[in-house]
């Protein structure tokens, strides 16, 4: 069975092609490319990716305007029906702004743009997105963001930790994120937001393959099901 996925593009997205290439290379099937102004998603999707970039030039707040784009109502509806949604970097910001994930992404501690490969600990290896990894495994994934400092109140942080919804944690200081959180899941486990870019770590010739496991996890779990 072919893997049926879609990548959303907003004005200012700059990682949508990288995401599309990653999905095609790992799954063997090119994803649908969906424009932010569309009101409907392709039928029968197995997976939706909200990519990185600077949607709407990060005007107001990163992801704030994109979260109100027409297509996001369809993404929210699909997520509520159980369709897996991955938001990376600016995509993570869009998912928090749209209410699909808790918390917010603030300016990095030190107010610097961070662009480098970082160590990332796999905290939950039992999710749809992380089953190819081992709990406690440290992978190397690139980051490139100015507003990746994850914030939530203490009750929310405790709930995320207690419910196993912290998917990834930074293994080094990167941006000041609360409890070094790099990626979180929604309560149903079908929505993941993360600041690091797994789509940039799928080929050895581009520096590493540690991000490939995330896509392999989802494809194996969905196509196998």
Which one-letter DSSP state was computed for residue 38? Answer: -
The answer on pLDDT for 109 being more than 90 is yes
The answer on pLDDT for 189 being more than 60 is yes
Strand partners, 115: 144
Q: Is 203 one of the annotated active-site residues of the chain?
A: no
State mean pLDDT over 105-116.
Answer: 94
Residues 6 or more apart whose Cβ sits within 8 Å of residue 152: 102, 103, 104, 160, 178
Per-residue confidence (pLDDT) for residue 31, from 0 to 100:
97
- The residue written with tokens 């196998």 in the block is 224
Q: Is 121 one of the annotated active-site residues of the chain?
A: no
Smallest CA-to-CA distance from 31 within 3, 12, 57 is with 3
Which of 15, 36, 62, 199 does the annotation list as catalytic?
A: 199
Per-residue confidence (pLDDT) for residue 1, from 0 to 100:
61
Q: How confident is residue 224, by pLDDT bands cut at 50, 70 and 90?
A: low
Q: Is 197 one of the annotated active-site residues of the chain?
A: yes
Extents of the domains making up the chain: 5-223
Q: How far apart are CA 10 and CA 8, in angstroms?
A: 7
Cβ distance 51 to 12 under 8 Å?
Answer: no
Q: How confident is residue 110, by pLDDT bands cut at 50, 70 and 90?
A: confident
The continuous run of DSSP H or E covering 183 comes out as strand 181-185
Q: How far apart are CA 218 and CA 203, in angstroms?
A: 18
The answer on pLDDT for 172 being more than 70 is yes
* Residue 200 tokens, joined: 């940039």
Which of 15, 36, 89, 145 does the annotation list as catalytic?
A: 89
Which of 15, 62, 145, 197 does the annotation list as catalytic?
A: 197
Per-residue confidence (pLDDT) for residue 12, from 0 to 100:
96
Per-residue confidence (pLDDT) for residue 220, from 0 to 100:
83
Per-residue confidence (pLDDT) for residue 206, from 0 to 100:
87
pLDDT in tens, 65-91: 999 999 999 999 999 999 999 999 999
For helices 212-224 and 16-27, the axis angle rounded to 10 degrees is 60
State mean pLDDT over 105-121.
Answer: 95
Q: Which residues of 24-55 are buried (b: 16+ CB within 10 A; e: fewer)?
A: eebbeeebeebebeeeebeeebbbbbbbbbbb
pLDDT in tens, 120-164: 999 999 999 999 999 999 999 999 999 999 999 999 999 999 999
Fold observed for domain 5-223: Rossmann fold (3.40.50)
The answer on pLDDT for 59 being more than 80 is yes
Q: How far apart are CA 193 and CA 69, in angstroms?
A: 18
């Amino acid at each position: 069975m072919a893997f049926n996925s879609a990548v959303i593009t907003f004005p200012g997205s700059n990682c949508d092609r990288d995401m599309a290439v990653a999905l095609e290379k790992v799954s063997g099937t090119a994803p649908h490319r969906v424009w932010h102004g569309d009101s409907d998603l392709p039928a029968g999707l197995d997976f939706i990716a909200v990519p990185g970039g600077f949607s709407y030039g990060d005007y107001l707040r990163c992801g704030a305007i994109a979260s109100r784009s027409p297509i996001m109502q369809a993404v929210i509806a699909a997520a509520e029906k159980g369709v897996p949604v991955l938001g990376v970097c600016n995509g993570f910001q869009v998912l928090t702004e749209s209410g699909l994930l808790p918390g917010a992404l603030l300016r990095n501690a030190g107010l610097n743009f961070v662009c480098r490969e970082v160590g990332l600990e796999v905290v939950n290896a039992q999710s749809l997105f992380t089953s190819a990894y081992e709990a406690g495994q440290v992978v190397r994934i690139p980051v490139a963001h100015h507003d990746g400092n994850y914030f939530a109140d203490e009750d929310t942080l405790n709930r995320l930790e207690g419910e196993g919804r912290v998917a990834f944690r930074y293994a080094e200081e990167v941006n000041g994120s609360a409890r070094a959180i790099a990626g979180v899941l929604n309560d149903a486990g079908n929505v993941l937001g993360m600041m690091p870019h797994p789509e940039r770590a799928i080929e050895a010739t581009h520096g590493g393959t540690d991000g490939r496991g995330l896509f392999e996890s989802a494809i194996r779990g969905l196509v196998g099901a």
